[in-house]
């Protein structure tokens, strides 16, 4: 497996990154089976493993730690921080207080002395970027992390973080982890060009479009809503919803492209992000050994210009057929008071 350098760090990673969100109570609760899956991925040449503190409330990190007990030096290990870990205030976010505490918890669960890539899982507008970059820089200097990055940040915040680091003499985000798939190409507009200009590595997530690019859900066929993701988010799989219909329509056309290329739809889906020059590695997230083996069968698939042109016709560049699941929404959209004048600021009504 040919390796790629991660965001100018000199760290070389495989083009496939093993994502472990489905390891633990949320997905596969059999720790021994998850360890076998991780070992099988490593044996196939994957040297990059991504997890997060919040995956199954820390259980995923514990499983990864078990799997890497005797193989730590051969693996580039990434994890993330931000989402709440328990009840009460100050148990989440991007503050110095929380990151200092939670990195120790991640190190303990992972059974390691260092983390190769420590990522801020989402933006946090209650914390200054300088505060977050400062504590991450300290952790690099302490040797607890080797590099740090961000995940699902909008392009403007990536640029702002770069300039804050430059002005304050702090280390900067080396990577970004955005959602990117055949059905969700929005990051091509700003995020990927920005990461290229700044020399950042990119790990993309959700290449299978939350399951719609597995081939399991097809137009004109009954949708099985009894297991998997539909049980967690049934509204996203509602066959009467226009977005669901749009996804299913695109899938039918993409199946035809896969047949022309000579691969399966999932293989086409995973090959697609790797065709973009900004992308370093694509995160695959198997829950079972069969899913891992099926994914790895497509390692040799590469897409030529004819295939990519055909894809562009179906889903134009920069287009999201649906808003990717789990994407951060800015406060300017979620907080009405930030986009509405107060009564005192509103102009007086004209006399009638």
CATH, residue 331: 3.20.20.100
Whether residue 284 is contained in a domain is answered as yes
- CA–CA gap between residue 93 and residue 121 (Å, rounded): 9
Q: How many structural domains compose the chain?
A: 1
Q: Quick check: is 97 in a domain?
A: yes
- The whole-angstrom separation of Cα 181 and Cα 322 is 11
Of residues 114 and 338, more confidently modeled: 114
Model pLDDT for residues 145-168, shown as the tens digit of each residue: 999 999 999 999 999 999 999 999
Q: Is residue 207 part of a domain?
A: yes
Looking at residue 333, its pLDDT comes to 85
- Residue 250, in any domain of the structure: no
Range of the domain at 114: 4-212+272-301+315-336
Say yes or no to pLDDT of 1 above 80: no
8 in any annotated domain: yes
Query: Which is nearest to 189 in space by CA: 201, 180, 176?
Result: 180
55 among known catalytic residues: yes
Residue 136 inside a domain? The answer is: yes
Beta carbons within 8 Å of 96's beta carbon, 6+ residues apart = 131, 132, 134, 135
Q: Is 296 within the bounds of a domain?
A: yes
Closest C-alpha among 256, 257, 345 to residue 307: 257
Rama region for 214: left / alpha / beta (φ>0; ψ in -120 to 50; rest): alpha
In tens, the pLDDT along 227-275 reads 666 666 677 788 788 998 999 999 999 999 999 999 999 999 999 999 9
The mean pLDDT of 87-115, rounded to a whole number, is 97
Q: How far apart are CA 3 and CA 281, in angstroms?
A: 9
User: How high does pLDDT run on average in the chain?
Assistant: 93
pLDDT at 77: 98
For residue 216, report the phi and psi dihedrals to the nearest 5 degrees.
Answer: -75, -30
> Exposed/middle/buried for 93, CB within 10 Å: 0-12, 13-18, 19+?
buried
Q: How far apart are CA 90 and CA 305, in angstroms?
A: 49
pLDDT band at 220; cut points 50, 70, 90: confident
Helix, strand, or coil (residue 134):
helix
| pTM (2 d.p.) | 0.93
What confidence tier does 350 reach under pLDDT thresholds 50, 70, 90?
A: low
Does any domain span residue 86?
A: yes
Each residue's pLDDT tens digit, 29-81: 999 999 999 999 999 999 999 999 999 999 999 999 999 999 999 999 999 99
At residue 226, the pLDDT reads 65
């Amino acid at each position: 497996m040919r390796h790629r350098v991660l965001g100018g760090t000199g760290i070389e990673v495989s083009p496939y990154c093993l994502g472990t969100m489905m390891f633990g109570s949320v997905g596969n609760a059999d720790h021994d089976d998850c360890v076998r899956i991780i070992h099988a991925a490593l044996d196939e040449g994957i040297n990059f493993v991504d997890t997060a503190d919040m995956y199954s409330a820390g259980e995923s990190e514990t499983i990864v730690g078990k799997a890497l007990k005797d193989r730590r030096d051969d693996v580039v290990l990434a994890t993330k921080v931000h989402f709440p870990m328990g009840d009460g205030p100050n148990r989440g976010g991007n503050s110095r207080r929380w990151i200092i505490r939670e990195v120790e918890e991640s190190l303990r669960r992972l059974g390691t002395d260092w983390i190769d890539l420590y990522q801020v899982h989402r933006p946090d507008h209650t914390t200054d970027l300088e505060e977050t970059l400062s504590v991450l820089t300290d952790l690099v200097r302490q040797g607890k992390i080797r590099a740090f990055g961000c995940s699902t940040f909008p392009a403007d915040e990536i640029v702002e973080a770069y300039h804050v680091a430059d002005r304050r003499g702090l280390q900067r985000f080396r990577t970004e982890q955005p959602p990117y798939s055949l059905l969700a190409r929005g990051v091509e507009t700003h995020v990927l060009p920005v990461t290229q200009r700044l020399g950042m590595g990119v790990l993309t997530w959700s290449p299978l479009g939350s399951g719609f690019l597995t081939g399991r859900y097809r137009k004109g066929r009954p949708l099985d809503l009894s297991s998997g993701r539909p049980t967690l988010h049934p509204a996203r799989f509602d066959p009467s919803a226009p977005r669901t219909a749009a996804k299913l329509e695109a899938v039918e056309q993409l199946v035809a492209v896969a047949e022309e290329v000579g691969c399966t739809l999932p293989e086409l889906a995973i090959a697609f992000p790797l065709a973009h020059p900004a992308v370093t590695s694509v995160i695959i997230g198997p829950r079972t050994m069969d899913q891992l083996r099926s994914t790895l069968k497509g390692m040799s698939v590469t897409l030529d210009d004819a295939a990519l042109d055909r894809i562009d016709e179906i889903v134009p560049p920069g287009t999201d057929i649906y808003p990717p699941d789990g994407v951060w929404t800015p406060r300017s959209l979620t907080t009405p008071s930030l986009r509405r004048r107060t009564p005192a600021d509103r102009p007086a009504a004209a006399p009638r």
